[in-house]
A and B are shown apart, each in its own frame.
Chain A
């Protein structure tokens, strides 16, 4: 039983009024309570946000689906496993180690990374398994953080790493491990600096539920979902292309770039169409868009590249 009821949280972690706005602690409490079935689903702390120009025309997928249908193998390989098992993850305190080719390396507390007011960014989300959602993220541009730590001229790539904590992540325990831990991902520096690339801390205006990658996750909307690494604990600027988890698991199926591309099939299934989640049993397939519909914004990053070769 992975649920951890609220009373098991040490009293040291219960938020005093003075740090009432320390939303991480609040989040841990609410998340655990939700997992224990004590509170209704909308108990997460509200975030302060401002609207952005992205995604005003998109109709978001229902919140219950976004928070109950997840690939987060640290909590199990089933789609419902993360929502069932992630409630016990401690997300406060949380810090991110920033190292590698930067002028200002260091370990940053989450509070020092996340701006007070974040943006609403509603993005299309396309899974490599050919299903899709529309998710109203709350976040800020990764470029804000990277600029602060001052990448050196030699930095060409950004590597990311997810938490390893088998005590709280049942998928990292046991005899059978589907992937190597930690989960690692990477972007080219120009992709990482692109205004569409965000670090998200929330969805639907509230703190991220643990199963969606709390407290801090990457969102790169023109790439397949597995590139958008969850629960990030380390960001490293590198000169060489960093290893990525799914590429290590099956290099012929998952490339470093993994841009959404209807013309390049997965070796085992077509990527030409996708099934939107939330339409029920009779949900209609729809055509998949080049770069997941963000072609105007990002195509110039790949000018002259053979996208079949660099899939």
Chain B
């Protein structure tokens, strides 16, 4: 056994003992902290924009984490599948909060402007479409839905995560005034995580991991 696989096995052992339920709340802490800072006047001259962008960024980070689960399982063999539902739902909560700030604090219920934005502005279109794609996934992120829909249909539905991820980085890239390093880095990471899914399965490294995961779960992506 190589040093790396020993390390991975130890990591997997430790991960098995981490309870998932508290993490649903822990994952919301950065957003709540940003909201507190905005209220406390700690976010500078434009707290609304800082809060709006902060929530959007956390949504994107959790999206990347969600989409990293499969590649991490396939190559180093790190098993994070238990946490994926938590990660994915966290994306949804952050996107929902981000959208709420946009409607309530940024546009201030100026529905005409919002409607015009949705029709005219590519980055708003991307963001809104990503949100629409996340809704059915969030609704079906529970065991009952998996049973009702059946594994195949459920998995197909949750492939919406790929276009949603692409739309989220486009939303970010499109809204900045020039090509800055931040959005480009997020876009590159997204491209990497989605691109890894195109690698044919035969070339995958650790057979043991693959067989185990294939046997047990419905969600190893093949796209």
Contacts and interface: CB of A to CB of B under 8 A. Distances in A.
A and B part of one assembly: yes
Contacts of B113: 270, 272-273
A15 interface: no
Contact of A79 (B44, B117, B122, B181): B44
Interface string A230-263: 0000000000000000100110000000000000
A124 to B, nearest CB: 16
Contacts of B47: 280-281
A243 B178 CA distance: 17
Interface string B150-189: 0000000000000000000000001101111100100000
Interface in B98-132: 105-108, 110, 113, 116-117, 120-123
Interface string A259-297: 000000100111011010110111111000000000000
Given A69-B44, A280-B41, A281-B39, A268 B175 contact: yes
Contact of B178 (A64, A179, A270, A282): A179
A310 interface: no
B45 A65 contact: yes
A277 B46 contact: yes
Interface residues of A, number: 32
| Most B CB within 10 A of own CB, among A79, A273, A280 | A280
Nearest to A282: B105
Interface string B48-68: 110100000000000000000
B178 A281 contact: no
Given A69-B45, A270-B113, A273-B113, A284 B108 contact: yes
B174 A268 contact: yes
Given A281-B38, A281-B47, A269 B121 contact: yes
A77 interface: yes
Contacts of A281: 38-39, 47-48, 51, 105
A233 B192 CA distance: 44
B172 to A, nearest CB: 13
| Most A CB within 10 A of own CB, among B48, B123, B174 | B48
Contact of A131 (B39, B46, B51, B181): B46
A178 B41 contact: no
A218 to B, nearest CB: 19
Contacts of A179: 178
A265 B105 CA distance: 21
Given A268-B174, A281-B51, A282-B105, A176 B46 contact: no
Interface string B21-51: 0000000000000000011010011111101
Contacts of B121: 268-269
Contacts of A131: 46, 49
Contacts of B107: 285
| Most A CB within 10 A of own CB, among B45, B46, B48, B116 | B45
Nearest to A178: B178
A249 B178 contact: yes
Interface of A: 64-65, 68-69, 73, 77, 79-80, 128-129, 131, 176, 178-179, 246, 249-250, 265, 268-270, 272-273, 275, 277-278, 280-285
Given A65-B45, A250-B178, 20 more contacts: A68-B44, A68-B45, A73-B178, A79-B44, A129-B177, A131-B49, A268-B121, A268-B122, A268-B123, A268-B174, A269-B117, A270-B113, A270-B116, A270-B117, A273-B113, A275-B106, A281-B47, A281-B48, A281-B51, A282-B105
12 contacts: A69-B45, A176-B180, A178-B179, A250-B178, A270-B113, A270-B117, A272-B113, A273-B110, A273-B113, A275-B46, A281-B39, A281-B48
The 9 closest A-B pairs by CB, nearest first: A69-B45, A65-B45, A178-B178, A176-B181, A281-B47, A277-B45, A77-B180, A281-B38, A178-B180
